[in-house]
Structure formats: structure tokens, C-alpha cells
Structure 1
């Protein structure tokens, strides 16, 4: 091992947590380096959150053209150009990368492009992208390597070379028939988008419902959304083997309710889960342990089993959202400063960017029942929110859980137009400890989606 270069902090992986730690400490005069294998800024600005929402927005515009007559617009002769859809996404990514590079420059943090691996405690050797090697040792080290799409060991699946979200967002032609393996968040978002681009789409899900961890009324609503859009859904399907090659012809053999079925398409998208990027980075040389699924073992302050080493973001088993990774940054920064912030009991906002959106915060009904927590339930259809009438988007509902003998909001779910923005209003009220009556009695602008919070919380049953 060559003589290591000494740093105050070395971060392996440039995702949300890692880059924020490096930028913050470097701006305070610390010598900080971030080692990144490929994607400047991590997956969110390059291949995941923002690129997918960019493509989803293009698909939403396409849906408006398809519905043109409904809005009094003659949209005859239009077509989707997937090459332009892809190029619009690429242009956004280029801009985001440029923004990241400017932040590295402004903060003084060093970005080291190459494949990094631990070769000793708190010591990382980097095979540089432009050739050669460097060895960096940090007084503090943060592991921020993220996750990747999981390809299950189903016979023939890997050989079929399925798309993941990465390749799907680079397509310049809409598939004739896209098979989506997995009915979770990624599968649902991309299934709807490609259906709106003109593909025939079939979702194949092994569980009994789409987004099966959500409340039954949410899963039912998502299935109805798929039916509305002409997306075929096959639940309770256990894939036994896969034949063919994605992009040409592919067959998925499965068992369903005791019978064998075959689902055929031209392209296959694997969207059935994530696996941590912790293999091949030498964690065993650093004294860093992983759990049975490969996620780095951490405590409530995101400390690993090795002194002076933290892990943050998806690879640490945190909920797989950029906004949670950003909070992981706050937890690590607090710990470095002797603070008390931890991951215990923090709010985790969920948002599914289908159209309409699904968003929730706090307890769901399923979670409340599993934990034996009593609640009062208020629920209204989105048609009770008059703004939806102007948008021609009546689908969905709002619901809230309120404690049975008090006024505290326990949870909130919105399945409808602008659900993600609406959830934030309730989340802030929950953070502030406001009673549900504060939203019930607030003067909210008409006509807005947020106005629906009034009738929703007016529907809370009387307490015990």
C-alpha cells in the first residue's frame, strides 16, 4: 500500500448524504474528499429521482394530448418522440451535474473519480478513472455507496438482460409490450409513463396487491388507476423461469393460484427491489460489518461497527428516499458535533409519483392496526375537493388518522392530484404539534387542493 494522503474526512460515494457532509465540512476549512465511481452527485440527479420525474412529466404531457378533445383542443396528428423525451432528460442531468461540480468548487471539497475500496481501517484505495491509483485515509470516513436494482435469481432472468430503471430512462423507442416485474413504486411510475408513451404494459406482481405494504384502499385505488390507463395487472404471480431477451421477445413463466401461466412481451423491466452496493468495496478490511441482506450495520447515530466510520443513505438500510438520505447527513453532522440527533422515531414522508400521486406521512391504518394503536378515521373522496373539478382529475381520496381521545394527527394519506404538495402541509402541522382542528378551521384559499383539508378534518368523528 502506497503512503496514504491524509484527509479530515473521506466519503465513499457521492450521494445525497456524502456530498452534503463533504461540502459542509470543507466549507468550514476541513480537508474533504469524495470518491465516486461514476455518477457525480449520486443516483438521484443522474439515474433515479429527478430523471424519472422528468420522463414522467413528458408522459403526463402526452396524456393531455391524448385527452385533448376533453379539454376542447384538437390535438390531431401528434406523436411521441422518445428520442426527444430522452434528450430533455439528459439535458436536465447535464445541468444538475454542472451544478454539483460548482458546489464542489465553491466548498473546496475534492471530487475523486474512480473505483474505491477499503484496504485498511479508514483507508481507501482508488483506481482512478483517468488511470493510476491514489490512497486516501480519513480521520473520519463516511460510506455512502447507495443501492442498485435487484435482479432475482429466477432461472433465465439475468440471461434475459432485463431493463432496470437506468436503462428504461434511456430508451429512445417506446417498447411494443413492456412487462414490468414488480408492482411497487418504481414499477408503477414507469408502467404508467410507458403506457402513456404508447406501449402496451403488463405489471406482474408476486404479492396479492399492488404496493402491497400500503393500506388496502390505496392498493385498490392504484389497481383502478392501472385499469383506467389500460395497464394489465397480474398479481399473485410467482415467476418460475424467464425465456428470451428483453428488447426482442421475452416470456415469463409463472404459477398463479395453482395454475401455470405465461406472460409474453417485447421488453422486461426488473423493478422488484434494491440491493446495497456494499460488495466489492473491502468493508472487511475496515472492520465494517453488514447484515444478512448486505446493508451496513449502523446504530441510531449511523455509526458503523468500525470506530470513526459512519454509513448513510440507502446502503445503511435507511428508507430509500433522497429526503431521508439528506436527513442522514444531519444525523451524522450532529454526531460529529456532539449533538443528539438520531434516526429514532423520525418522520418518513412517502410519495409515489404516479398521476395522480400517492403521498402519506405518519401512521397508515395498516401500521396502526399492527401496533394496536387506536384512532379516529376521517376520509373524503377527492371529488369533495372542488379544485379537482377544474382539473378533470377526480380520482382518489384523502384520509387522516386522529388519536381517539385527543386532537393529535397520527397519520395522513392523500391519493389524488398534487398529493405530495398537500402532504407537506399536514406534515408541518404534525411537526408543530398542532391539533387537527387548526387545519379544520383554517381559512384556506379557494379553489386549491389544500382547501380539501378543511372538509377532511371536519369529517373526524367525535372523540371518546
Structure 2
């Protein structure tokens, strides 16, 4: 039987990063993955493939709608080859997951293919082509999450689908009905709307991306309506039925009136749930709460002192970069170091176009906590760089403490916001004031100037270009 200092169950961004950091710190490390490829949901059926399709569909939209205004004329019709587009997406996934294989070899990490389940707190059985057992002094559970569903919906994975199936459709839907106006549903909705599908979004809450700042939700809603998507908020879905190649969705609106929608595909995108199936956690003394999450303390240690858990399987936002931070945190904790994670400073991003990104507190949270704050906001349309590229939708909003000027939250929607948010994270990590940001030189012309201008607006209401 092979023995290890640490074994990691699950090879998503949390698991594989934890394995690398453990190996860097001198621990003999094993990683266990039930699927044929490493990388978990994010690399195989989540972040990476969805961004590949978002990129491809964005190119198509630019070619069909915007090239002409740039003086680029394409003879004949521009056509979508969906099979080739999906093929490119898969090639990106294969290259990325292959990179994880390389990193495991580089760091001398043993990879086991199969379902890992606890025999006890220090022994793990791996059921793959063969059954293997290993011993591990410590274990990190990084088994991630799976798409959630509503109890009355039968996911046939043909017409009534999850995000996994939506990433490999063989045809462009005529009418895609999306249940859930969160990140995953909106990203995939934009992909297929660009490619020509009619898209209807059905959201239970009174706005899309309901966990983000209301201003961002309002602006993104405008973008989707401008693209002729139907946005049904405050709608409670009560039935989803397939009739041949048709899917009938019935929902009640906020007045209690029944709304009937008919499409050829229905994407159920109502969040994700922690995945612990087959883990046999109880055999190791690991407690799982009523929400299916593994309970951990401030050190991400489970009820079994030698076992830790990270990522989607524990409390908190289900984000790849949150899982990565936790993977490093646990590895360094086990090595006797004193790492830290500030969960308030983990950014959230929606990779639609325009992109949406945020970090820190929303206005709603500040009001609820009775924190006095000031607001600085700057529109992208006032930027020379935005006008030059035609990306004029959106704004940057900075929330700062009214007395101290410390930045409490940054919320943005616009071109390249997924990258721009890192400036806000750095500033807030070092307790910067809005004035600090406003006094830093930002290259011109860039999208990043919107951050400086919003900071100026928050500091003395003196944005320069509005």
C-alpha cells in the first residue's frame, strides 16, 4: 500500500492547486480524480469551455454586426459552423487539462484515476479499472459541485438540459428557454443569442444576477433586452414538460398569472450543489450539514482533525479562484505557515459582454449594515478608448466610507471588467482610499481610466471627463 503525507480527492482548480502547493512544500502528494481528465468542472465543463464559446460567438457577432462600421466588408454571408466551434472549444479544454497532467508530473504528484472514498480517516479506497487503497496522513476534500435542479423537473439531457449539455449541442436552438438569471444561464444565453437563437430568461427573483449590486443588474438587463432577449423576472416556474422536440415551461408571474413559454430547448440553470456522492465521509468522521456542505472551521479543517475541505463543497461562493485560494491556504496551514484569506476580497465576474465584475460590499449591504458611504460613478461611454473600440456600455462605481474614504466596494460593467477588477482587489487589500486610486497615473487611452475617474468622483465629485 502506498503511503502519502497528503491525498487530495478531486482535481478541480482547488484540488490540483492544493496538490501543487503541497508538493512545493515538500509533502509526498497524491491526487484522486474519478473522471478521465484532470481539471474538474471548471476546466472540463465550466469556466474554460464556456469562455471559449463566448469568445467564438463574440467574433461571429462582431463580424455580422460591427465589422462594416469599421470599414471591413466581407463578401457573401457569414455562417456559423457549430460543429467546428464546439470542436475548437474541446481543443482548448484538451490543451488546458493536458497542462494539468504536465504540472502533476513536474511536481512529482501521483495521480489516481477512480472514485475515492474513505475507508477510515487515514485510508482511502479508489475504485477505477482496478480497486486500490492508499494511506494518507492528511486528506483534502475538493470534490466540487454539480448542477442543481428543481424537484419537479426531469432533466433528460437532450431537450431539458444543464450547462454541461449546453456546451456541446449539435444544433443552434430555435428558442432556448433558460431557467435562472444567474452567471451560467446568462453567459450561455448570450452565446446562443449571438448565434441566432431566440432566448427567454426566467428568473424567480426580481432581477437578474440578484446577488450582485442592483446597478449592475439593471445595466446588464438593458444589454440583454437590447439584444432582443425576453427577460421574465419575478417568475416562479411550476412545470417543465417535453413534448417531442418541444419543451413547455409554465410559470406564475408576480401578479399570480400563468405564463406559458414554448421552446425547443430548456436550460436549467438554478445554481449548483456540493458534490459528496460516494465519498463515504461518515467513515472518516467528517460531518456534512443539511445543505450538503462539509462543515469546516476557520482553518478549513473538518470534524476529523487530519481532513480538510475546500472549494464548492464547503460554504461560500462557488468560484474557481476561491477554491484555489483555499487550496493554497490549507497546504500552507498544514506546513505550519500562517496564510490568510479575506473572503470579502474575492471578486465575482460574469463573462457576458459587456463583462460584469465586483468586489467588496454592495450598496444594499452597506445600507443594511447602516454604514455611511459615498458613491463615485463613471460611464464607459465618456472614455476615448471605449469610443474607439465601440464598447461604450457600462460604468465603474466605487463605494467609499464617508468619513475615512476607504474603498468598501467596487462594481463595474463594461469591456475588460474581468481584468480591471484586479486593480480594485489590490487597492482594497492594502486598505486604499478612493483618493489613493485617484492620484495614481492610469495610461491613456485605456478602459482602466474609468476606475481612476470613478475614484475622483467618489473623492471630491471631480471626475474630469463628464
Answer yes or no: same fold by TM over 0.5: yes
Taking the TM superposition and a 5 Å limit, the aligned residue runs for 1:214-253 are 214-244=212-242, 248-253=245-250
Q: Distance in 1 between matches of 2:177 and 2:376?
A: 37
Partner of 1:189: 187
Q: Distance in 1 between matches of 2:101 and 2:301?
A: 28
The RMSD of aligned alpha carbons is: 1.8
Partner of 1:163: 161
Tell me how far 1:345 sits from its aligned partner.
4.7
Task: Specify whether residues 81 and 158 from structure 1 end up closer, same or farther in structure 2 by C-alpha distance, changes over 3 A only.
Answer: closer
Tell me how far 1:462 sits from its aligned partner.
4.6
Tell me how far 1:407 sits from its aligned partner.
2.6
Name which of 396, 400, 403 aligns with 1:402: 400
CA contact (8 A) 1:11 1:141 kept: yes
Q: Distance in 1 between matches of 2:268 and 2:125?
A: 33
Partner of 1:441: 439
Taking the TM superposition and a 5 Å limit, the aligned residue runs for 1:57-456 are 57-67=55-65, 68-75=67-74, 76-128=76-128, 131-156=129-154, 162-244=160-242, 248-256=245-253, 257-343=255-341, 345-456=343-454
Which shows bigger deviation, 384-393 or 52-61? 384-393
Task: Specify whether residues 280 and 338 from structure 1 end up closer, same or farther in structure 2 by C-alpha distance, changes over 3 A only.
Answer: same
SS in 2 for 1:434: coil
Task: Specify whether residues 74 and 66 from structure 1 end up closer, same or farther in structure 2 by C-alpha distance, changes over 3 A only.
Answer: same
Tell me how far 1:338 sits from its aligned partner.
2.3
Tell me how far 1:316 sits from its aligned partner.
1.4
Find runs of 4+ consecutive structure 1 residues off by over 6 angstroms: none
Tell me how far 1:160 sits from its aligned partner.
7.6
CA contact (8 A) 1:436 1:457 kept: yes
Unpaired runs of 5+ residues, structure 1, are none
Tell me how far 1:27 sits from its aligned partner.
4.4
CA contact (8 A) 1:210 1:223 kept: yes
Q: Deviations over 1:210-268 (max 9, x none)?
A: 111222221111111111111111111111111106x8210011111211111110011
Q: Distance in 1 between matches of 2:430 and 2:99?
A: 33
Task: Specify whether residues 338 and 159 from structure 1 end up closer, same or farther in structure 2 by C-alpha distance, changes over 3 A only.
Answer: closer
SS in 1 for 2:345: coil
- Is 1:22 the equivalent of 2:19? yes
Tell me how far 1:424 sits from its aligned partner.
1.2
Q: Distance in 1 between matches of 2:229 and 2:406?
A: 39
Which shows bigger deviation, 268-277 or 431-440? 431-440
Tell me how far 1:190 sits from its aligned partner.
0.7
SS in 2 for 1:43: helix
Unpaired runs of 5+ residues, structure 2, are 462-466
CA contact (8 A) 1:157 1:241 kept: no
Task: Specify whether residues 306 and 177 from structure 1 end up closer, same or farther in structure 2 by C-alpha distance, changes over 3 A only.
Answer: same
Tell me how far 1:29 sits from its aligned partner.
4.4
CA contact (8 A) 2:238 2:251 kept: yes
Partner of 2:464: none
Q: Distance in 2 between matches of 1:100 and 1:345?
A: 26
Task: Specify whether residues 85 and 387 from structure 1 end up closer, same or farther in structure 2 by C-alpha distance, changes over 3 A only.
Answer: same
Tell me how far 1:455 sits from its aligned partner.
2.2
Q: Deviations over 1:121-172 (max 9, x none)?
A: 23221111xx220012210011000001111102545698622111111123
Which shows bigger deviation, 137-146 or 164-173? 164-173
- Is 1:33 the equivalent of 2:18? no
Q: Distance in 2 between matches of 1:303 and 1:342?
A: 14
Partner of 1:5: 2
CA contact (8 A) 2:159 2:265 kept: no
Q: Deviations over 1:183-206 (max 9, x none)?
A: 000011111111001111111111
Which shows bigger deviation, 147-156 or 55-64? 147-156
Q: Distance in 2 between matches of 1:441 and 1:17?
A: 37
Tell me how far 1:427 sits from its aligned partner.
1.8
Task: Specify whether residues 358 and 134 from structure 1 end up closer, same or farther in structure 2 by C-alpha distance, changes over 3 A only.
Answer: same
Q: Distance in 2 between matches of 1:21 and 1:217?
A: 36
Which shows bigger deviation, 45-54 or 424-433? 424-433
Partner of 1:55: 53
Q: TM-score, normalised by structure 1?
A: 0.94
SS in 2 for 1:459: helix
SS in 1 for 2:201: strand
SS in 2 for 1:460: helix
Q: Deviations over 1:342-394 (max 9, x none)?
A: 44555111111010001111111111112221111111222122211111121
